[in-house]
Structure 1
């Protein structure tokens, strides 16, 4: 019996990890695991090609984790599989299968679905199928052959310590610098009306500390670069969160952790622990209007959030905020207020989502009562409600897009608020103007835009705004600030600057050279130390007391550390010329020969200059 567990990911990325599939395979007996294959699939593949890929393995059983992003394509694939090989046993699990079981079976021509946590039930199902026994009565399994049977409750694994780790068992491979999705607990103690996380669970159930410790040791040994902690509120209750942070600090201080937190439980002790960790923290704000959040089973204190986020900033912790537009009782004006609140906290990013009315949630069950209109198919997006018109949703969508482009992907956190203050504009009004500016210039926003592609748009729009507000005197300072913060962010995310250790000095002149792509060289109107200090005072005041002092700076990373330094005129001349491939002799024209040799020796030894290709002589 050949078993396939196939995962269709959102996209190829460090987060494209088949965790659910790995957990299911790990739950099987060893002899069954040998006949079980995990397959990674991606949206750019056609359903027909995926179908052929799966059938080439001659499977007996195929299981699919089903999520909002892959439901429609997976169920279409299942229909094709059923047509090509009717005897296949097809099953699905995951949130979509648990929340919308009967429709999923019908749409995908499935033999059944697993509802809830599937390890124990899946292992039992495979055992019965391999022995020819009926799957009827398996906890959480809804079968198409069970006539008039009641829909089973979603299962909850009674003892997480009895589950085999997919990481420790080797079912999910680890490579150097890879990303990891890491479960530290299951369940959620909250019951937000728009969220499915708490459904079918019994509060928060942590995995054993001994298992977590072994997994962290493995991640460290295999040189994992980043870990996404799968816990919707790691710090609830606070004691568990502190214990987890201490474990991360002790076992894996070099790994970058992505963590979700609830601000209510971010006390000073937790913030101090976070400051010792290489991490970024995402916080679900959703709305800054308490009256909107209260009916959704969420509490919000603006003063408490401002205080805690300020403490996190002072502690040097990178954090982001989540917002949702389209919530019942909210409108576009309310969303603007929430966005202004969020951006004034100076988060590293603000992730903005339209409301998704997910099957199985309280909002889904009460949407008629609440006057909610939403899509009846994935991704179940809001279309309107009694307070949020379709026109308002379009406005909010445009504002959310502008926020993502200018603020998030444009790396604008370091200069955004001072620029808004100089223009006497609220953050939301500034971003609305940017959205309109894009439209006026027929610039269509694209998800593939890089920060480098966005940079000239920021420069052009800022210049237009300064001119409109009769603040052109700030142009050089704003240009410098935008460039400076862009380069700081890009350098932090780039590779280390490494030298070519195999290049003998006697061969240098046989090659053309260029600036290392991991190195940035930028001309500024003001001194670097002055630009680093701007931000604590209004731009007009800073511009008044700063004197123009043109200089060239270098940005690079070595051994994980970001290095930003001003260059003397001679070294600046060499590196500016090295932006274009050429010979070393060309780079040092009009420079004293002895000094030129010293500077070239340094640039090559540090990897600032790299050889490109052999030249004819």
Structure 2
């Protein structure tokens, strides 16, 4: 039997985490491993790189250095073909890596979201493949290795025929301390800024038999967290609840992250989400229906509020997303969206700059919508007719402040109470805190919660003092310290004791939601609280 040719699939990850594991490259590698065309002629392996790895950092002072390092590592395997999974954040380095490999006679092919958006722009590769690579890349690998042409099947794509990269061992979730779990592809919505904007308005589900086997694998490996890849997990409520029940039975200790539409959530589904450790991420994007209409994103505010109310009443954990720089929006409009989002008590609020991605409907209409954006990845908006470049920078500051103070600061239990006492909107608060960050040289990647808690207490003390609200400072400090200790106990399991100015039972009550009422009616009495 002839020796198999080495075929490598690779990508460059931002970080080594469940969210960033090389699922796309792994799926294609599995397909080539098992395809009747290639299984006997290709020796397939997955060789991803990560920007956080010490060796990569040591050799990546520039993109050229990084490409040289990656190419030298790949050449050690003596590959005949290298397939690249390309995204917005790694395109430049991977194109340079392919150029080095080509100079050594290696055939390079590519796929992934960035390629699907505009295959013709990838001129440095033997083949640039758009769409779902599992169906086309085995044919391309076969043709490159044998020199013979194949006739791709015209049958409708069937996910029952696809191998799971987890089940065949191509991808080990233990290596990444979690998993990206693909339940479906496609989206019933066609938001203009998304890669799905030009695809079929169709959702195709992976078979439940495969899903159950992957669940069993996650249970066997004790996978701690799973990020679910299904852009509208709750589009089919019955299937969503059925799967939650299976998750609860097979992996009760694993934490799951879902993407969902608030408009489709009722009490039954909200209650189901409380039966497993999980969090939902919900795309608001903007609170202005006119702005959302310009990007073809339907928004029923009444239904949205009803769904969020169900989540809050049932105690489900959820976060919201908002985008700045959308066509038709302004800095004032973005601030209104931030204020609306915070008023819904999300566990986290992610604020993103709009990217005008090649191959999307928004990219096609960008000039008519008066958008100016970066010509290189990540294609961020520079300005619009209503959102100046200076406004974009201000929105970015709000995003950084929100991430440090609200998200990483775990402020959701008490943040709106502080705003109410200050008679201040959330966006205004974040503007002030960002100025504080800049003046005190506080990095936007400040992550350690105890350190952030100190910042929160100092900032709140300063702003209450400026507004001559000193009476409320001890209470505010207690609320922040109490909730911080509780959150760390939940996070780490370690107990700690905090010193309070007021009795702990009052701090942990609805009275503390109204600071002005509290200080008028509750006497100070120093106490200790142990989580």
- TM-score for the superposition, normalised by structure 2: 0.92
Deviations 1:538-572 (A, max 9, x none): 11111222222323333xxxxxxxxx2xxxxxxxx
Question: For residues 163 and 426 of structure 1, what CA distance do their matches in structure 2 show?
Answer: 50
Matched, 1:13 2:17: yes
Question: For residues 204 and 246 of structure 1, what CA distance do their matches in structure 2 show?
Answer: 22
- Secondary structure (helix, strand or coil) at the match of 1:368 reads coil
**1:581 maps to what in 2?**
none
Give the CA deviation at 1:527. Answer: 2.1
Question: For residues 444 and 156 of structure 1, what CA distance do their matches in structure 2 show?
Answer: 57
Deviations 1:106-126 (A, max 9, x none): xxx211111100112111222
Question: For residues 98 and 33 of structure 1, what CA distance do their matches in structure 2 show?
Answer: 27
Distance 1:156 1:478, change over 3 A: farther
Matched, 1:431 2:430: yes
Question: For residues 275 and 125 of structure 2, what CA distance do their matches in structure 1 show?
Answer: 49
Question: For residues 20 and 213 of structure 1, what CA distance do their matches in structure 2 show?
Answer: 20
**2:146 maps to what in 1?**
131
2:27 corresponds, among 6, 16, 23, to 23
Give the CA deviation at 1:534. Answer: 4.4
Question: For residues 277 and 464 of structure 1, what CA distance do their matches in structure 2 show?
Answer: 40
Contact 1:319 1:348 in 2 (8 A): yes
Question: For residues 237 and 460 of structure 2, what CA distance do their matches in structure 1 show?
Answer: 43
- Secondary structure (helix, strand or coil) at the match of 2:227 reads strand
**2:358 maps to what in 1?**
359
Question: For residues 391 and 33 of structure 1, what CA distance do their matches in structure 2 show?
Answer: 56
- Secondary structure (helix, strand or coil) at the match of 2:32 reads coil
Contact 2:226 2:257 in 1 (8 A): yes
Instruction: Summarize the alignment of residues 161-310 of structure 1 with structure 2, pairs less than 5 Å apart.
Output: 161-175=160-174, 178-201=177-200, 203-310=202-309
- Secondary structure (helix, strand or coil) at the match of 2:328 reads coil
Of 411-420 and 521-530, more deviation after overlay is shown by: 521-530
Instruction: Summarize the alignment of residues 138-157 of structure 1 with structure 2, pairs less than 5 Å apart.
Output: none
The alignment yields a C-alpha RMSD, in angstroms, of 2.1
Give the CA deviation at 1:269. Answer: 1.9
Give the CA deviation at 1:207. Answer: 0.7
Distance 1:536 1:475, change over 3 A: closer
Give the CA deviation at 1:535. Answer: 5.9
1:530 corresponds, among 500, 503, 506, to 506
Of 223-232 and 444-453, more deviation after overlay is shown by: 444-453
Question: For residues 43 and 260 of structure 2, what CA distance do their matches in structure 1 show?
Answer: 40
2:109 corresponds, among 91, 95, 99, to 91
**1:553 maps to what in 2?**
529
Deviations 1:359-400 (A, max 9, x none): 111110011111110011100000111111112111111111
Matched, 1:77 2:97: yes
Distance 1:472 1:231, change over 3 A: same
Matched, 1:43 2:41: no
Matched, 1:420 2:424: no
Deviations 1:248-295 (A, max 9, x none): 233333221100001121122211211212110000000001111112
**1:370 maps to what in 2?**
369
Question: For residues 531 and 360 of structure 1, what CA distance do their matches in structure 2 show?
Answer: 52
**2:128 maps to what in 1?**
113
Question: For residues 132 and 177 of structure 1, what CA distance do their matches in structure 2 show?
Answer: 37
Contact 1:259 1:280 in 2 (8 A): yes
Question: For residues 40 and 444 of structure 2, what CA distance do their matches in structure 1 show?
Answer: 45
Deviations 1:173-192 (A, max 9, x none): 24399211001111111100
Question: For residues 535 and 231 of structure 1, what CA distance do their matches in structure 2 show?
Answer: 40
- Secondary structure (helix, strand or coil) at the match of 2:257 reads strand
Matched, 1:67 2:67: no
Instruction: Summarize the alignment of residues 391-430 of structure 1 with structure 2, pairs less than 5 Å apart.
Output: 391-430=390-429
Give the CA deviation at 1:129. Answer: 2.4
Deviations 1:573-598 (A, max 9, x none): xxxxxxxxxxxxxxxxxxxxxxxxxx
Give the CA deviation at 1:34. Answer: 7.3
Instruction: Summarize the alignment of residues 372-387 of structure 1 with structure 2, pairs less than 5 Å apart.
Output: 372-387=371-386
Instruction: Summarize the alignment of residues 465-614 of structure 1 with structure 2, pairs less than 5 Å apart.
Output: 465-494=463-492, 496=493, 518-534=494-510, 537-554=513-530, 564=531
Task: Please identify which structure carries the higher helix content.
Answer: 2
Of 324-333 and 27-36, more deviation after overlay is shown by: 27-36
Question: For residues 15 and 61 of structure 1, what CA distance do their matches in structure 2 show?
Answer: 27
Contact 1:176 1:225 in 2 (8 A): no
Question: For residues 449 and 182 of structure 1, what CA distance do their matches in structure 2 show?
Answer: 27
Distance 1:360 1:335, change over 3 A: same
Contact 1:373 1:382 in 2 (8 A): yes
Question: For residues 442 and 528 of structure 1, what CA distance do their matches in structure 2 show?
Answer: 32
Of 112-121 and 243-252, more deviation after overlay is shown by: 243-252
Distance 1:28 1:531, change over 3 A: same
Contact 1:116 1:156 in 2 (8 A): no
Of 375-384 and 10-19, more deviation after overlay is shown by: 10-19
Contact 1:176 1:223 in 2 (8 A): no
Larger Rg computed on CA atoms: 1
Deviations 1:17-48 (A, max 9, x none): 22112211221245459721211211252212
Distance 1:176 1:451, change over 3 A: same
**1:570 maps to what in 2?**
none
User: Which structure would you say has the larger RCO, counting Cα contacts within 8 Å and 6 or more residues apart?
Assistant: 2
Give the CA deviation at 1:306. Answer: 2.3
Deviations 1:387-442 (A, max 9, x none): 11112111111111111111111111111111111111111111111112233x34
Deviations 1:338-369 (A, max 9, x none): 00000011100000001000111111001111
Give the CA deviation at 1:156. Answer: 10
Deviations 1:424-462 (A, max 9, x none): 1111111111112233x3424332542222222211110
Contact 1:177 1:226 in 2 (8 A): no
2:462 corresponds, among 461, 464, 477, to 464
2:75 corresponds, among 55, 63, 78, to 55
Give the CA deviation at 1:104. Answer: 2.0
Instruction: Summarize the alignment of residues 446-461 of structure 1 with structure 2, pairs less than 5 Å apart.
Output: 446-461=444-459
Count the aligned residue pairs.
Answer: 511
Give the CA deviation at 1:172. Answer: 1.2
